Amino acid sequence: MIDERDRKILQLLQQDASLAVVELAGRVHLSVSACSRRIQRLESEGYIARRTVVLDRERMGVPTTVFVLVKTSHHSVEWMESFRSVIADIPEIVEVHRLTGNIDYILKVILPSVEHYDVIYKAIVRKVELFDMSASISMEILKAGTEIPVAYAK
């Protein structure tokens, strides 16, 4: 069970994981040792899965986002594992969801240019059979982030 201070710690760490414990403790009105113990507990209980760095996509040379919609006529465990293996080996594919409805999967792909999508397309279709694969190019990011709501944590 976590309380409002724990939620505040989680929120602050999501915004900046490099915050020093001294700074964090001051912002949540705890002693440094009490704050440190809470962070350790939140990590050991799995509320904090990992700490990471968010890179600037423009500076990293991958400003283009393409969403790929995949339909398959195969729904066996073997096919799904094969597909999972193929997408795991392509670093430009940063997120994949299996969906309900008419589309089976959606892939979020980050690329240096739209033209580079063909490289990813060929890498996938060369290794796994698909019924249909279509892409939509993101023209503008209206909202993006890595933070998740902390209000629902139990």
Distance CA 151, CA 121 (A): 39
Region 4-16 average pLDDT:
96
14-37 tens-digit pLDDT: 999 999 999 999 999 999 999 999
Reported confidence tier of residue 41, pLDDT bands at 50, 70, 90 = very high
Residue range 135-145, pLDDT digits in tens: 999 999 999 99
Long-range CB contacts for residues 1-7, cutoff 8 Å, separation at least 24: 1/154, 2/42, 2/47, 2/153, 2/154, 5/29, 5/30, 5/38, 6/38, 6/42, 6/47, 6/153, 7/150, 7/151, 7/153
Banded pLDDT at 50 (limits 50, 70, 90): very high
Domains observed in the chain = 4-44 (1.10.10.10), 57-137 (3.30.70.920)
Looking at residues 106-112, what average pLDDT do you find? 98
The confidence score (pLDDT) of residue 8 equals 97
Percent of the chain at pLDDT > 70 equals 100
**What one-letter code names the amino acid at 87?**
I
